């Protein structure tokens, strides 16, 4: 059995592609999900991976999910914090719920999940933590103050934890996808999406597989000298 990986939001979109790519790389993979049973059942059948239900915005749920995975597969050595949502709207119209839902699911989740695995990783002297941020956490996006804040917060978290963990064989990195063809992006109005694509030098949306590829590298033993980094996969839309 390969190293054990848990990918949150691993049943759809980018997370699903990461699950498949890690499995193909020989890891033993569990996919987390919130409630879409159909998508979860499909990935369990198609890829033969373990699925685990639980909401990443809830600390106790995360503790239970991690225990469940570790009891079945062994200690988690690779954690991909991928689950995320959008609740877009201009800030002057944004409700408290829109703000809190996005911060809880995209930002608190990183504490809720990582806190469950970090002590074990430190004791064993090995770990890979990969946080899926966003181009909009790097550059900001009108209509997404909540999402941009959460995704930028992830980058700060990543750097600080990378510093704390480097001498324990643990790397902590972010991947910042640009616009990628998943259900999250299909929710954007076609006219708006056309404008977005016109601003991507490569001239198209990214694919989940293109994001998964860099995650697989960061999850590998070969990536042991990369930590605290944010790697953009955005077709040249935002160059740092
Ligand atoms: P999708 O909407 O396609 O999939 C989201 C996944 O997250 C699903 O598996 C869903 O589970 C799970 N999820 C949602 N909320 C929760 C929750 N509270 N607890 C546990 N799991 C949850 O998203 P994408 O694949 O598009 O996005 C994946 C990540 O990549 C997100 O963090 C997103 O912000 C980021 N990203 C996406 C970009 C894009 O263009 N698509 C660009 C930049 C970043 P269920 O099916 O059960 O609801």
Q: Which two tokens stand for residue 165?
A: 């963990």
Task: Decide if pLDDT at 59 tops 80.
Answer: yes
User: What domains can be seen in the chain, in order of their start residue?
Assistant: 4-230 (3.40.50.720)
Query: Which of 13, 66, 151 has most ligand 1 atoms within 8 Å of its beta carbon, as the pocket-test mutant?
Result: 13
Question: Rounded to 5 degrees, what angle do the CA atoms 196, 136, 11 make?
Answer: 90
pLDDT at 240 over 90: no
Q: What is the pLDDT of residue 184?
A: 85
Is 80 exceeded by the pLDDT of residue 1?
Answer: no
Q: 36 CB less than 6 Å from ligand 1? A: yes
Sequence-distant (6+) residues with CB within 8 A of 54 are 32, 34, 61, 62, 64, 65
Cα 228 to Cα 218: distance, rounded to the nearest angstrom: 11
State the distance from the centre of ligand 1 to the C-alpha of 7, rounded, in angstroms: 11
Which atom of ligand 1 is least distant from the CA of 14? 25
Residue 138 · residue 176 · CB < 8 Å: yes
d(CA 99, CA 180): 23
* Burial zone of 179 (CB within 10 Å; 0-12 exposed, 13-18 middle, 19+ buried): buried
Structure confidence by residue, pLDDT tens digits, 173-222: 999 999 999 988 888 899 999 999 999 999 999 999 999 999 999 999 99
Half-sphere exposure of 38 (CA within 13 A, CB side): 0
47 is catalytic: no
What is the distance in A from the centroid of ligand 1 to the CA of 182? Answer: 9
Q: Whose CA is nearest to atom 33 of ligand 1?
A: 84
Q: Model-level pTM?
A: 0.98
Residue with tokens 């369990």: 44
Ligand 1 atom nearest the C-alpha of 36 is 47
Closest atom of ligand 1 relative to the 205 alpha carbon: 40
Q: 3-class secondary structure for the chain?
A: CCCEEEECCCCCHHHHHHHHHHHHCCCEEEEEECCCHHHHHHHHHHHCCEEEECCCCCHHHHHHHHHHHHHHHCCCCEEEECCCCCCCCCHHHCCHHHHHHHHHHHHHHHHHHHHHHHHHHHHHCCEEEEEECCHHHHHCCCCCHHHHHHHHHHHHHHHHHHHHHHHHCEEEEEEEECCECCHHHHCCCHHHHHHHHHCCCCCCCECHHHHHHHHHHHHCHHHCCCCCCEEEECCCCCCC
In this structure, which residue's CA is closest to atom 2 in ligand 1?
184
Distance CA 77, CA 79 (A): 7
Ligand 1 contacts CB of residue 200 (under 6 A): no
183 lines ligand 1 (CB under 6 A): yes
104-128 pLDDT, tens digit per residue, is 999 999 999 999 999 999 999 999 9
User: Could you tell me the distance, in angstroms and rounded to a whole number, from the CA of residue 20 to the centre of ligand 1?
Assistant: 16
The reply to whether ligand 1 has any atom less than 6 angstroms from the CB of 13 is yes
CA dihedral of residues 18, 24, 28, 29 (deg, nearest 10): 20
Residue 21's nearest CA partner among 217, 213, 223, 224 is: 213
Ligand 1 site-directed mutation target among 12, 53, 87, 157, most atoms within 8 Å of CB: 12
Q: What is the pLDDT of residue 104?
A: 98
């Amino acid at each position: 059995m390969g190293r054990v990986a848990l990918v949150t939001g691993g049943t759809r979109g980018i997370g699903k592609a990461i699950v498949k790519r890690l499995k193909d790389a020989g890891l033993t993979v569990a996919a987390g999900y919130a409630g879409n049973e159909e998508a979860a059942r499909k990935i369990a059948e198609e890829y033969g991976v373990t699925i685990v239900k639980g909401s990443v915005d809830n600390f106790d749920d995360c503790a239970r999910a991690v225990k469940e995975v570790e009891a079945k597969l062994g200690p988690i050595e690779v954690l991909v914090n991928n689950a995320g949502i959008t609740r877009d709207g201009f800030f002057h119209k944004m409700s408290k719920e829109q703000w809190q839902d996005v911060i809880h699911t995209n930002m608190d989740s990183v504490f809720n999940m990582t806190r469950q695995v970090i002590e074990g990783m430190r004791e064993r002297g090995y770990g890979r933590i990969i946080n899926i941020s966003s181009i909009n956490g790097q550059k900001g996006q009108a209509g997404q103050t909540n999402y941009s804040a959460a995704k930028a917060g992830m980058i700060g978290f990543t750097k600080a934890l990378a510093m704390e963990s480097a001498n324990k064989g643990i790397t902590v990195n972010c991947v910042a996808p640009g616009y990628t063809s998943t259900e999250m992006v299909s929710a954007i109005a076609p006219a708006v999406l056309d404008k977005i694509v016109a601003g991507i030098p490569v001239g198209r949306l990214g694919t989940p597989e293109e994001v998964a590829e860099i995650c697989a590298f960061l999850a590998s033993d070969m990536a042991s000298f990369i930590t605290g980094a944010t790697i953009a996969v955005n077709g040249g839309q935002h160059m740092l």
